[in-house]
Structure 1
Amino acid sequence: MRPTSIVWCRSKEIATRLQEKWKGVVTDRRPVPHYLDGQFFESQTTQLYDVNDPSSQTLLSRTPQATSSEIDAIISSSQNAFLPWKRTSLLGRQQIMLRFSSLLRKHQDDVASIITLEQGKTFGDARGDVLRGLQVVEAACAAPNLMMQDHLEVARDMDTLARREPLGVTASINPFNFPAMCPLWSIPMALVTGNTHIIKPSERVPGASQMIVELAEMAGLPKGVLNIAHGGHDTVNALCDDPRVRAISFVGSDQGGKHVHDRGTKNGKRVQSNLGAKNHAVLLPDADKEAALDSIAGAAFGAAGQRCMALSVLVTVGQARKWIPELVEKAKALTVGIGFDPEVDVGPLISPRSKQRVLEIISSVEEEGGSILHDGREQKLSSPHHEKGNFVGPTIVRGQAGMRCYDEEIFGPVLTVVDCETFQEALELINSNRYGNGASVFTNSGSAARQFEMECEAGQIGINVPIPVPLPMFSWSGGKASALGDLGFYGKSSIMFYTKLKTVTSLWRKSSVDLGRGGKVSVNMPTIS
């Protein structure tokens, strides 16, 4: 284990380097700037949100609540930039995405560093955060193929062409848990299709978005095509209400997602919302035990459980319940501490409030008749210097439907084990849950895997895969109460979300003589044959 002082000094050194290298990154307690027309500018607001290092509560910076005039200026900038950007050829937009992709890969470690500093996740996990967003940028570079539409000669000398056109100004409202990936689910797909875009980062983790817009500028993106509006509820409501904003992409909580969906659609906007989740994994006795338990532990406790696709319920079937003590040993072996320490597996939760809620849910288990198989509240930190951090160790509890640990999305490193006698009972448990982001099964039986694939009512299915999020050549497919809106993130669904369909029917006769009506006007409904 690295000495505490070395780890802590390294985080301060990284903060200083980022502060000096990136125009929009602030780590010296000043407010972060908005981004408008290719430039960062300071907000005139007096309302600020603290950005704290969750491993120590050290104040890093402050996020401003944009004033109404600042939000109006940002939306106006996006509106003014739309027509020139729309008229930029698809190949021209593709070239910018190619350069953006290259720059993002080159500076992946810098973006990961600010994520670890502000959000707390381990540096390796933060690099994965950036990489999954980068993959969407790379997929967007295939837009010339993705946007090809139908063209048909429908009658003699008459053609019908279908084309997809951009909507206008679009926006994304992003969560704290994926500061790079979630904005990058929307930015490349919105821009390559010809829209302008406004990012509303989580007020808790503004740094990654600040870097992303700088990289887009370096890639040659014209001024005003990509802007940042900081803030909380007031910024969200302004984006939902302003008629110039045509579409909103949201990732976050149940309450926030429903609010954005209802308010945005009421105002005539397209809205896609990814909400809460309660993802299950079924463990069958014929599974590869070691591989399955490793996968389950990683999916349950990685990112301190702060993923909408975190594995939060393990359903054991029959004799598989006997493997739980081995899973407990794997949880005990995980190291909890500051994300910059390469030996740490689990970082802090985002805030003291989040930590307190997770602790309350763990405490409720025994009160409601369950049992605590491994108590992360008692796990020691690798770094005593960070005793003020929002740390909770990996925790495994045994419970059932109707208990708080099962019914609620915990968003912490807590795995609830539910024992079932049969595979059918396990399927019925999953299908009765209101959430439907994802579910997995661990088995060596092809017939069981096939049955799970066909009968499980979750949008994203994993067969021996604990976090079955598809790569961006496909589309995000979470369902039930985990999603609102009928078009998913990235992939072909995203192309449809960020465009509208226009059809053009044209007639080019060889000669007016071919009209065959002697010039007589027809008032009948036109027919085509």
Structure 2
Amino acid sequence: MRDIRHFIDGAAFEGASGRFGDVFNPNTGEVQARVQLATVSEMDRAVQSAQAAFEGWSSTNPQRRARVMFEFKRLVEANMNELAEMLSSEHGKVIADSKGDIQRGLEVIEFACGIPHALKGEYTLGAGPGIDVYSSRQALGVVAGITPFNFPAMIPMWMFGVAIAVGNTFILKPSERDPSVPVRLGELMMEAGAPKGVLNVVHGDKTAVDAILAHPDIHAVSFVGSSDIAHYVYQTGAQHGKRVQAMGGAKNHGIVMPDADLDQVIKDLSGAAYGSAGERCMALPVVVPVGKKTADELRERLIAEIPTLRVGVSTDDQAHYGPVVSAQHRDRVAGWISKGVEEGAELVVDGRDFSLQGHEKGYFIGPSLFDHVTT
């Protein structure tokens, strides 16, 4: 069994907690690896490494830091296929979606490549009688990111790209469901020329999260995940005097107007609602048509469109989406569908009994559609 280790001080770090999480292949339902779960002392070891790296990294001029980001971008692009296959094997999204996941993260890395300009301060002459005012931007120190399973490349790069470019050092606590890509990103950052300790990856569960939120040498925390945990992270981090941004519970809603181009609407909805098996922060699971005529036509078109959606394994380049990330999540979605029926909604298309031939133990669920949904 392959063990996924922490990445601390520029190298793989063997954890000593004796606790592991299973990493599944959602296409087959099989355990493919174990991920080590950190102790408080192991998190502290990562913070010490980041703290030791901070003085030298923050005093490195922004142009040199930007060159590291340029090289990191090049390395990620050069390893795109490897990263996408690794991501799909643990998350379940199709390869095209995995490449999109990585590319969206790279867009922020591209922004970080221009950090010398973004870091410029301001100077105001004569703000008051005999008073001039200037401002400068300085790095905070050690900062941390706690990221979700659904975008294991994009969201970490969103967080650590700018944080590192401006001179901070970073602790990344990725989801334990798909942890391999974040570790690989840490390796590539070192290969790009970042000093050891600038980017550390520590795996874990609530123990690791609480260690981040309570550690006195971590000055800021960024979080993406569920609303309940976002509230917990914000409250706990603020109690410990940290800057916190906590983003939770995002989903989109759509309104279809009577004069909408329904051909385009159906095309957009099928991707927005069902793409990546709905496991996107900005998925679009709720649509409100304006007027009965619009609603009836939209319903009929969706009924015709849904059977054309191909559900397949991650490596199927014809598949529109793959499995969900875990058996628990598949069962939870099926439970939500059952609850909708119990509460009086009309289940027009039922995907609960979907099974992919040859992958019956995979975490697949078919596209489903409700109509006449009550509050």
Q: TM-score range by the shorter chain?
A: over 0.9
Map of 2:298 onto structure 1: 323
Name the CA distance, whole Å, in 2 between partners of 1:360 and 1:186.
33
Cα shift readout 1:171-221 (whole Å, capped 9, x = no counterpart): 000100001001011111100111000110101111110110111111100
Give the Cα separation in 1 of the matches to 2:64 and 2:284.
41
Aligned-partner Cα distance in 2 for 1:102–1:227: 20
Question: Are 1:346 and 1:393, in contact at CA under 8 Å, matched by a contact in 2?
Answer: no
Taking structure 2 as the reference length, the TM-score comes to 0.96
Q: Secondary structure at the match of 1:31?
A: strand
Partner residue, 1:271 = 244
The match for 2:202 is 229
Q: Does 1:372 align with 2:344?
A: no
Question: Is 1:152 equivalent to 2:152 in the alignment?
Answer: no
1:158 Cα offset (Å):
5.7
Q: 1:361 aligns with which of 336, 357, 362?
A: 336
| Alpha-carbon distance in 2 for matches of 1:188, 1:241 | 24
Residue 264 of structure 1, CA deviation: 0.5
Partner of 1:438: none
Q: Secondary structure at the match of 2:267?
A: helix
Contact kept, 8 Å, 2:21 with 2:176, in 1: the verdict is yes
Q: Deviations over 1:15-41 (max 9, x none)?
A: xxxxxxxxxxxxxx2221111111112
Give me the whole-angstrom Cα distance separating, in 1, the residues matched to 2:172 and 2:111.
20
Q: Which moved more, 1:316-325 or 1:180-189?
A: 316-325
For residues 355 and 40 of structure 2, what CA distance do their matches in structure 1 show? Answer: 46
Q: TM-score, normalised by structure 1?
A: 0.69
- Listed as ranges, the matches of 1:417-428 within 5 Å are none
Match of 1:185 among 134, 140, 158: 158
Counterparts of 2:44 and 2:115, CA distance in 1:
31
Q: Which residue pairs with 2:310 in the alignment?
A: 335
1:48 maps to a residue whose letter is: F
Of 233, 236, 240, 1:260 maps to: 233
Deviations 1:492-514 (A, max 9, x none): xxxxxxxxxxxxxxxxxxxxxxx
Q: CA RMSD in A?
A: 1.4
* Residue segments in structure 1 that go unaligned for 5+ positions in a row: 1-28, 403-529
| 1:83 and 2:55 aligned | yes
Query: What are the Cα deviations for residues 152-176 of structure 1, in whole angstroms up to 9, with x where unaligned?
Result: 2226886422001111100000100
Counterparts of 1:94-243 in structure 2, within 5 Å, are: 94-154=66-126, 159-243=132-216
Q: Distance in 2 between matches of 1:158 and 1:258?
A: 42
- Which of 1 and 2 has greater Rg? 1
* 8 Å contact from structure 2 (residues 346, 373) kept in 1: no
Structure 1: distance between partners of 2:278 and 2:371:
17
C-alpha contact (below 8 Å) 2:223/2:233 kept by paired residues: yes
> How far off is 1:401 after superposition?
4.7
CA displacement at 1:378 relative to structure 2: 3.6
Deviates more, 1:284-293 or 1:262-271: 284-293
Secondary structure at the aligned position of 2:22 is classed as strand
1:293 and 2:266 matched: yes
Q: Measure how far apart 1:64 and its partner are.
A: 1.1
Residue number among 45, 70, 76 corresponding to 2:42 in the alignment? 70
Letter in 1 for 2:4: V
Give the counterpart letter for 1:367 in structure 2. Answer: E
Alignment length, in residue pairs?
372
What secondary structure does 2:106 align onto? Answer: helix
1:60 CA displacement: 1.2
CA 1:64–1:327: 2 relative to 1, 3 Å: same
Q: Distance in 2 between matches of 1:111 and 1:119?
A: 12
Displacement of 1:324 in angstroms is 1.4
Which sits farther off after the overlay, 169-178 or 33-42?
33-42
Distance 1:291 1:250 in 2: 34
Match of 1:285, as an amino acid? P
Gaps of 5+ in 2: none
2:21 and 2:298 map into 1 onto residues whose CA distance is 45
Verify the 8 A CA contact 1:370 1:397 in the aligned structure 2.
Answer: yes
User: What letter is aligned with 1:343?
Assistant: Q
SS across alignment from 2:137: strand
Structure-2 separation of matches of 1:92 and 1:391: 46
Question: Which residue does 1:505 correspond to in 2?
Answer: none
For 1:376, what is the secondary structure of its paired residue? Answer: coil
Q: CA deviation at 1:399?
A: 3.9
SS at match of 1:377: coil
Percent identity (aligned): 39
Q: Output the CA distance in 2 between the equivalents of 1:67 and 1:367.
A: 43
| Poorly superposed stretches of 4+, deviation over 4 Å | 155-158
Q: Deviations over 1:424-476 (max 9, x none)?
A: xxxxxxxxxxxxxxxxxxxxxxxxxxxxxxxxxxxxxxxxxxxxxxxxxxxxx
User: Structure 2: how far apart are the matches of 1:60 and 1:118?
Assistant: 9
Q: State the partner residue of 2:276.
A: 303
Kindly report which structure 2 residues correspond to 1:40-59, keeping only aligned pairs within 5 A, or say none: 40-59=12-31
User: Using the alignment, how far apart are the partners of 1:272 and 1:216 within structure 2?
Assistant: 24
Equivalent position amino acid for 2:294 in 1? A
- Name the residue aligned to 1:284: 257
Q: Is contact 1:75-1:244 (8 Å) kept?
A: yes
Partner Cα separation in structure 2 for residue 153 and residue 367 of structure 1: 68
- Deviation, 1:104, is 1.1
SS in 1 for 2:151: coil
Displacement after TM superposition at 1:256 (Å): 1.5
Deviation track 1:112-141 (CA, whole Å, cap 9, x = no partner) reads 111100000001101000000010100111
Deviations 1:349-379 (CA, angstroms, capped at 9, x unpaired): 1111111111111112222111011111244
User: 2: distance between equivalents of 1:197 and 1:283?
Assistant: 43
Distance 2:308 2:233 in 1: 41
